[in-house]
Amino acid sequence: MPSHIIQTRENTSLPARIARSAATAEGAHLSTEDFGDWLAERGRANTFRVERIPFAELDGWSFQESTGNLVHRSGRFFTVEGLHVTEDGEPYGDGPYAEWYQPIIKQPEVGILGILVKEFDGVLHFLMQAKMEPGNPNLLQLSPTVQATRSNYTKAHKGADVKYIEYFVGPNRGRVIADVLQSEHGSWFYRKSNRNMVVEAVGDVPLLDDFCWLTLGQIHELLRRDNVVNMDSRTVLSCLPFADASDGALLSDVELHSWITGERTRHSVRAERVPLESIPGWKRGDSTIEHEEGRYFNVVAVSVQAGNREVTGWTQPLFEPVGLGVTAFLTREFGGVPHVLVNARVEGGFLDTVELGPTVQCTPDNYAHLPEAERPRFLDTVLRAGPDRIRYEVVHSEEGGRFLNAESRFLVVEADEADAPLDPPPGYAWVTPGQLTSLVRHGHYLNVQARTMLACLNATAVRTP
């Protein structure tokens, strides 16, 4: 490597290098204009097929006789169990329900979500993968370099090696830029975490099929397109160490941490795993586990063929939400400084009582039958927002390895004092994106939806070195 490049790298802060990549709209290897053709070509180069099947046709999966839990014969991967959640708080909960039952995914192992980065022409590029997941609405989306459960990369499935895994585990991995345990969906996973990593490569990196190098600016452009950048990429990107100055924030960092601690102690949440067959309000058929009122989500089974995966064919259960979700930040400026309104959310599967979520995070159809006073706060403000107040709107899907067609409208909506007051209701606080960047360096502060929203906020911000 030329000495002037080494010297430049040593003299440039990591946030400045990331900002330079974010400000670079075209990469050294693949243009943004050509990305769509590249992704379509990767789709044509492989065989993908997903079919719904009855539970009886699942290979290796069965309902446990004693509990009704859906388990794999290997004892690995994950199980679908029942969950009983009760919440006592001051005030008594923030939603219409203080007790409920539901199916939940229990997957105790920690997976790796890792993006490899490397400089080309003095600009950081990110190694991204065109990865098929059976639950993706369009099957193929842009995933991290490595997206693998421990069962995957230890080859419990007896499949091929996970590509590039050596850059994230073992003694010869590269320079670690970010490495933090983050929660999965607290509404659908029981205390599940993944290791979110960004690692800078040392030396040459072979470019394999289905992978491409993109600048952060290019990825930010793709985050403005529906169902292109997958959830695992979004959560890793949120962990990048952008400059996190909190100048002008309404709450100091100490006050913000104190507020979060207060919210965690304000709620008392008990989440108990129970047999799947015993949860009231849910019924099991030949092909679906569903709520008696047709709300929330279903548990279904699929058969999958994917020519470029470590295992090319398998069957598995998936959770399928009922309806399109809405995930939104309300935003205001105070003293010229942008703030977003976060919600301290209770979700049954969280390791701690609450994590910070967006202002609104729900599926509106699940609340359509309720009186207005019991609908999620600020939902109607978001749904009524005109185009002149919407600063960002894209449909993103959730993790396609466990969830089928789980799509949400992700929005950033400009608000005023009438919509979202300076002094928000209990459970809500105004914070700056920089404060979120600081918090996300630590695990279990921002839920997965808030981390997606942070990645989207970074995509809409113009950052120059």
pLDDT for residue 395: 98
Amino acid found at 116? L
Q: Where are the beta strands (DSSP E) in 347-387?
A: 354-357, 360-362
Q: Are residues 354 and 414 in the same domain?
A: yes
Q: Which of the listed residues 215, 238, 261 is the one where a domain comes to its end?
A: 238
Structural domain includes residue 441: yes
Neighbours of 43 (CB within 10 A): 15
Query: How far is the first Cα of the chain from the last one, in angstroms, to the nearest whole number?
Result: 23
Binding-site residue numbers are: 61, 149-153, 187, 232, 282, 345, 361-363, 366-367, 399-402
Q: Are residues 37 and 165 in the same domain?
A: yes
Q: Are residues 231 and 257 in the same domain?
A: no
* Residue 144, preceding peptide bond in cis (omega within 30° of 0): no
Q: Are residues 206 and 264 in the same domain?
A: no
Q: Are residues 195 and 258 in the same domain?
A: no
Q: Are 402 and 318 in contact (CB under 8 A)?
A: yes
Rounded Cα distance between 83 and 225, Å, is 35
Amino acid found at 274? V
pLDDT for residue 171: 81
pLDDT for residue 312: 82
Structural domain includes residue 73: no
Q: Are residues 221 and 326 in the same domain?
A: no
pLDDT for residue 188: 98
Q: Are residues 330 and 441 in the same domain?
A: yes
pLDDT for residue 246: 66
Structural domain includes residue 310: no
Residues 6+ apart with CB under 8 A from 388: none
Q: Where are the beta strands (DSSP E) in 149-296?
A: 175-183, 193-200, 211-215, 267-274, 282-284, 289-291
Which residues form the domain of 419? 253-270+322-461
Q: Are residues 429 and 329 in the same domain?
A: yes
Rounded Cα distance between 142 and 330, Å, is 27
Number of domains in the chain: 2
Structural domain includes residue 222: yes
β-bridge pairing 354-357 and 337-346:
antiparallel
Domain CATH for 152 = 3.90.79.40
Structural domain includes residue 72: no
Instruction: Residue 234: name the closest of 294, 273, 175, 185 by CA.
Output: 185
Instruction: Residue 93: name the closest of 361, 373, 444, 427 by CA.
Output: 427
Instruction: With 0.85 as the threshold, say if the pTM is over it.
Output: yes
Structural domain includes residue 288: no
Binding-site residue numbers for dTDP-4-dehydro-6-deoxy-alpha-D-glucose are: 61, 149-153, 187, 232, 282, 345, 361-363, 366-367, 399-402
Q: Are residues 266 and 404 in the same domain?
A: yes
Structural domain includes residue 158: yes
Residues 6+ apart with CB under 8 A from 196: 113, 114, 178, 179, 180, 181, 182, 235, 236, 239
Both tokens of 401, joined, read: 């390895």
Q: Are residues 217 and 260 in the same domain?
A: no
Rounded Cα distance between 384 and 328, Å, is 13
Rounded Cα distance between 314 and 14, Å, is 42
Structural domain includes residue 53: no
Written as tens digits, the pLDDT of the chain (465 aa) is 443 343 345 447 999 999 999 999 999 999 999 999 999 999 999 889 999 999 999 999 999 999 999 999 999 889 999 999 999 865 434 454 689 999 999 998 899 999 999 999 999 999 999 999 999 999 999 999 999 887 666 555 556 689 999 999 988 789 999 999 999 999 999 999 999 999 999 899 999 999 999 999 999 999 999 999 999 999 999 999 998 666 899 999 999 999 999 999 999 999 999 999 999 999 999 999 999 999 999 999 999 998 766 678 999 999 999 999 999 999 999 999 999 999 999 999 999 999 999 999 999 999 999 998 889 999 999 999 999 999 999 999 999 999 999 999 999 999 999 999 999 999 999 999 999 999 999 999 999 999 999 999 999 984 433
Q: Are residues 113 and 224 in the same domain?
A: yes
Q: Are residues 218 and 120 in the same domain?
A: yes
Residues 6+ apart with CB under 8 A from 17: 9, 124, 465
pLDDT for residue 185: 97
